[in-house]
Amino acid sequence: MNGEAMRDQWYPVGIAAQLTPAGRDSLLLGEAIRIACDSDGAALVTDGAGRALPVITRFGHVWTTLGQPERDLFTIPEADQPGRRLVDVGTVLVRCSPLRAVENFLDIAHFPFVHTDILGSEPHTEVQRYEVEIRDDVDEVWATKVSFYQPQAAKSAQGGINAEYMYRVPAPTCSVLYKTCPARPEEWDVITLFVQPLTETTCQVWPWMALFDEDSSMTDMIHFQQMIFVQDRSILENQIPALLPLDPGMEIPTRADMTSIAYRRWLKRHGYTYGAQLVAA
Amino acid sequence: MRLYDYILSPSCYRVRLMAALAGIKLDLRAVDFHPGAEHRGPELLALNPAGTIPILTDGDLVLTQSTAILTYIAASHAPEWLGDDSPAMRAQVGQWLAFAQRLTDSAGAARLHDMLQMPGDIVALRRSATRTLRELEAAISAVRRRGGIFLVGDRPTIADIACFPYVALAPDGGLPLDAYPSIRLWMRAIRGLPGFVEMPGIHRLHELLPEPGPQPDVIRKERA
Amino acid sequence: MNWTPAALSQDIPSGSAAPGQLGDKDIVIWRSASGRIAAWSDRCPHRGMRLSHGFVRGEFLSCIYHGWRYGDGGQCHRIPAHPELTPPDAIKVPVFAVTESDGVVWVAQKDAEPEAPPPGLAGFSPLRTLRLSARPETVAAAFGGTGLDLRGELGGCAVVVLIQPLPDDQCNLHALAANGADTATLDRVSAALEALRRQAETAEEIAA
């Protein structure tokens, strides 16, 4: 298998509140798994041979691994602040590399064209310089001081704002976005993209959010995020090649793509290459 | 008029699109279809025992079939969308509304299977959808030979609106539209209608707007 | 190599783009506002997005993903994320040779442009393109001919059926009918093409 290092990672495989004793079949890194719960509602994940896999329940989702992770699943301390509403957005299957799904989540330049009049609009297309680093102490990719003009940044936003963002990649198929919170300017909304790699070219995407928003209904918040993600889906299923190219010659980045450049470099450094293409075909 | 709506449902989108094109504002009530399965909860089952959305309520009237809702919106607010009242055209519009159900049952079911992992024999669904899309392609090519582009008559009708969403979203179910040039031009004509609104998975016609602002060399000169 | 028929001109009106193929290569065929036809690799060099999903404004084709704008020769002219930047010459979409004659769009590899023009189709007008799941030889046999340029009669009308081979045992049929045929005749030809497709696909299934 491409990307052995990715076996030793935690992956989302279901919404904790929606497990059933009957369970359901799925894939993880191309291998069969089954997700169910016991009579007390506790998550049970088994591999193709019926052996129990390690389980963590966090951020409203069930996480498992096929390998031996050196570290605990990452945390999002901000999400524990009182007053946040935790939103299980649901899941969508996408025929794309799990790594392409994360890279798209890290990208802002597509907002005016793919999320038109919601997260961006012409002529406000310019991406200002921002800061990107691979934080060696925590081994995460971070992009900070990102800002972009948005006509309707969140369900709770009225009219356009210059939204501020921070992006964090704590695991190869997970990203956390901290974004201007319209209801509480001093806090960040937390919007995540958790990706379950089914195969190298198909993935199950589980967005999750922890928001300060007292006005919107839960359903409205879910629908807003589903709308955004499904707008991306038709892009993600039409990129060639389907695998994320790590060969620098294959695709042409610009300054607006610094987060993606750092993400690809970090993937390559760690051998997180399940869903990646190392040399041009 | 209140619409029990789900942003990702092509059947609900039929209604939103029709209302937008007719210039009517709907009172949208978002239904947590996924992941909450609210359409199978007590409140909505009381309105529609079939457990499906959209549901349109207008006073005491409750409508639960999207194509019937299109008929109602058009008849009450925008009768030009019904086509004229000649026997042939009435029947043709009715035929396309029934055809739209075949799209829902094939391409729509393939999409639910591929996106939300609903059960279904995906090979059979795609085969059935391909037959349906080929029929539509042949029909639109015949219309084009007569100088038209819309399904019935010389202007768009509820027949076009009923068929459009599941066709445009067919790629979501693993059914590329590359092989259907007449369908592509028909979709383009619908997307270009004044008042058109998109849904996730259907992009706006960005070509309808001019390229914004001056080009790079002009901007640099101005800032210098 | 010869020219490959890739589309009918009537299916790519000014200001639009469509997906096409040349052998196993995905291409975008698009026509500018002023009517210039072009065939390019169907891949934006930035992030690999299919350009056939993009949009045409004036003489430029833009990628739907980030709005990168390409003009004559595949050259990138504008990157909306950096409005001030003049994109380097190196940012270019690979282009294919393209020519239009008798209402058919023909394409070829840029470095292997055929010396001979595409076959003459005088006396015929484009009717429609159909995709089918059968090999070219199966289609030709069902038609009662050989090769990729089939001439004969369908639905009581003289026709030319150009076969465009595609990967995975598929092909496109670009059909033309005799000039001046009335609408009822053209409807019969169209129905006969559908019948030809059913016949070829059934033969292909039996062969498999």
Could you say which architecture CATH assigns to the domain B82-193? Up-down Bundle (1.20)
| pLDDT < 50: residue spans in chain A | 1
* Subunits with 3+ C-beta pairs closer than 8 A to C: A, B
The CATH superfamily of B2-80 is Glutaredoxin (3.40.30.10)
Query: pLDDT band at B222, cuts 50/70/90?
Result: low
In this prediction, residues C37-66 reach a mean pLDDT of: 98
Work out the mean pLDDT of chain C and round it to a whole number.
Answer: 96
Which of B3, B13, B33 is the best mutation test for A, with the most CBs of A within 10 A?
B33
Cβ pair C85:B216 closer than 8 A: yes
Domain CATH code at residue A238 = 3.90.380.10
**Sequence spans of domains, chain B:** 2-80, 82-193
Cβ pair C57:B219 closer than 8 A: no
pLDDT single digits (tens) B25-71: 999 999 999 888 899 999 999 999 999 999 999 999 999 999 999 99
A79 contacts: CB under 8 Å, gap ≥ 6: A59, A86, A190, A210
Alpha carbon distances (Å) from A263 to A53, A257, A273: 28, 10, 12
Q: Which of A113, A238, A245 sits opposite C66 (nearest CB)?
A: A113
C186 with C125: CB under 8 angstroms? no
Q: Which two tokens stand for residue B161?
A: 């609106």
pLDDT single digits (tens) A131-190: 999 999 999 999 999 999 988 766 666 677 889 999 999 999 999 999 988 888 899 999
**Residues written for chain B:** 224
In this prediction, residues C45-62 reach a mean pLDDT of: 98
In this prediction, residues B148-169 reach a mean pLDDT of: 98
B70 with B162: CB under 8 angstroms? yes
In this prediction, residues C98-109 reach a mean pLDDT of: 97
A2 with A200: CB under 8 angstroms? yes
C81 touches chain B (CB under 8 A): no
C42 touches chain A (CB under 8 A): yes
Closest to A165 (Cα-Cα) out of A133, A143, A150, A135: A143
pLDDT single digits (tens) B98-151: 999 999 999 999 999 999 888 999 999 999 999 999 999 999 999 999 999 999
Rounded-to-integer distance, Cα C142 and Cα A109, Å: 51
Number of domains in chain A: 1
**pLDDT of res. A279:** 78
pLDDT single digits (tens) B165-182: 999 999 999 999 999 999
- What's the Rg (C-alpha) of chain B? 19
Residue A14: helix, strand or coil by DSSP? strand
**pLDDT of res. C152:** 97
Q: Which of C52, C57, C127 sits opposite B211 (nearest CB)?
A: C57
**pLDDT of res. C112:** 86
Is pLDDT of C151 > 50? Answer: yes
**pLDDT of res. A157:** 65
Cβ pair B30:A227 closer than 8 A: no
Q: The domain C4-112: what is its CATH number?
A: 2.102.10.10
Residue B12: helix, strand or coil by DSSP? helix
A136 CA to chain B: closest CA distance, Å?
Answer: 37
Alpha carbon distances (Å) from B34 to A222, B108, C73: 9, 16, 46
Residue of B nearest to C125 (CA): B145
pLDDT single digits (tens) A212-226: 999 999 999 999 999
Residue C171: helix, strand or coil by DSSP? strand
**pLDDT of res. B152:** 97
Alpha carbon distances (Å) from C100 to B3, C36, C55, C171: 49, 10, 21, 20
Contacts of C190 in chain B (CB under 8 A): 138, 141-142
Judge residue A48's burial from the number of C-beta atoms within 10 Å of its C-beta, 0-12 exposed, 13-18 middle, 19 or more buried: exposed
A239 touches chain C (CB under 8 A): yes
Sign of the torsion angle spanned by Cα atoms B195, B197, B202, B205: positive
Contacts of C90 in chain A (CB under 8 A): 252
The CATH superfamily of C124-207 is START domain (3.30.530.20)
A265 with A132: CB under 8 angstroms? no
A27 touches chain C (CB under 8 A): no
Rounded-to-integer distance, Cα B97 and Cα B82, Å: 11
* Subunits with 3+ C-beta pairs closer than 8 A to B: A, C
C201 contacts: CB under 8 Å, gap ≥ 6: C132, C133, C134
Contacts of A254 in chain C (CB under 8 A): 46, 79, 81-82, 85
Q: Which domain holds residue A223?
A: 4-277
Query: pLDDT band at C8, cuts 50/70/90?
Result: very high
**pLDDT of res. A1:** 46
Q: Which of A88, A234, A237 sits opposite B35 (nearest CB)?
A: A88
Alpha carbon distances (Å) from C16 to A128, B171, B187, C38, C57: 32, 19, 12, 11, 9
φ, ψ of residue A102 to 5 degrees: the values are -70, -45
A124 touches chain C (CB under 8 A): no
Rounded-to-integer distance, Cα C39 and Cα C104, Å: 13
B2 CA to chain A: closest CA distance, Å?
Answer: 16
Cβ pair B115:A219 closer than 8 A: no
Q: What's the distance, CA B187 to chain centroid?
A: 10
A76 contacts: CB under 8 Å, gap ≥ 6: A59, A176, A190, A192, A210
Rounded-to-integer distance, Cα A237 and Cα A203, Å: 11
Work out the mean pLDDT of chain B and round it to a whole number.
Answer: 94
Q: Where are the alpha helices (DSSP H) in chain C?
A: 136-143, 183-207
In this prediction, residues C130-149 reach a mean pLDDT of: 97
* Subunits with 3+ C-beta pairs closer than 8 A to A: B, C
In this prediction, residues C154-176 reach a mean pLDDT of: 97
Q: Which residue has the higher pLDDT, A162 or C134?
A: C134
B220 touches chain C (CB under 8 A): yes
Q: Which of B142, B179, B182 sits opposite C131 (nearest CB)?
A: B179
**Sequence spans of domains, chain C:** 4-112, 124-207
